[in-house]
Amino acid sequence: MKTRTKRITQHAACTQPFLLVCCYICSMIIALIIYLAGGTVYAYTNLMYLPITLVAVTRGKIHGMIHACVSGLVIGPFMPLNQFQATQYPVNWLMRLAIFVMVAFVIGFLADYYKANYEQNLRRERTLQKAQSATLFSLVKLLESRDVTSGAHVERVSSSCKLLAEELQRLPKFQKQVDSAYIETLYEACPLHDIGKVGIADDILLKPGKLTEKEFEVMKTHTVIGAETLSEIQQKYPGNKFLQMGIALTRSHHEKWDGSGYPDRSAGDAIPLSARIVALADVYDALRSKRPYKPGYSHEKAVEIIKHERGRHFDPVITDVFLAHEKSFQTLYDQFNEEGAVPLR
């Protein structure tokens, strides 16, 4: 959100001076039209409200009133009332100028008010988002303190998801859905994918060996626990895209393309895109990483396993993107250490 807001602000800063110049040029053109049409006695003077309104809306009441004065003078003392009368009576153009200024003041005042209100709401939203992110990050760190394999894993998966999403953005199929805001939100929400493990008992979460079938059923519930926890937060902040994506990828990152995953046995495109991205990044990292119940696999072996699961566990298109850039994922993984050092983004 921060990047998107900054980009909008920069764009507005670049376009406003251009609009101001265009409005003054427009006023000159309108003055010429009024003159050629026969003078200010005709209705063409009303066209001048267009540039005045545009300046007042985009630049506020001060610039709007200045532009109104210039416009009033342009079709004022030197502009004929009509072709039979060389000049206007002073009361005519002075009254018009005063009306122009009043209109610019009212419109500019309202524009300034709503702009200030918008900026205040934007600051509140940023503060709220920071508070939410800090709270959720604390939960992730709490999980890390319980599960010694989670720290570097969380960082690596987040960066891998960002890399995958950036490559997906280049494909026509995903260009409408995967923009820079989507990638940023995915990167920020990705650490939440295992947040539900805080509700899993230590004797299962930290078990050094393979889980029994019953224990694995309990472990599966971390997807639902995490999604329901985030859903409770979302009830207070509906429409928050960060939470929406967090819920989707937390609940569905263990779903499989062929429908054999959990907890909902969703299949294909019914699985949220964010969860399909996390699924591949999560498995690649788990394969590469050493665990109490298995050694860490080589990059080559991990790639072979993922290739074999194309169209079964993983989205075929996402798998193809991963395979096309597998060396980048290997480099990214190797840039971390087991303490979770963050690579260059």
Active-site residue set: 197
CA distance 344 to 175: 25
Distances (CA, A) of 82 to 37, 88, 155, 305, 338: 9, 8, 75, 86, 85
CA-based end-to-end distance of the chain:
17
Cis peptide before 172 (omega within 30 of 0): no
CA distance 187 to 207: 29
- Neighbouring C-beta atoms of residue 315, cutoff 10 Å: 23
**Of 257, 337, 329, the residue nearest 300 (C-alpha):** 329
Residue found under tokens 């532009």 = 67
Question: What count of other Cβ atoms lies within 10 Å of the Cβ of residue 288?
Answer: 19
* Helix 241-252 with 180-189: angle, nearest 10 deg: 60
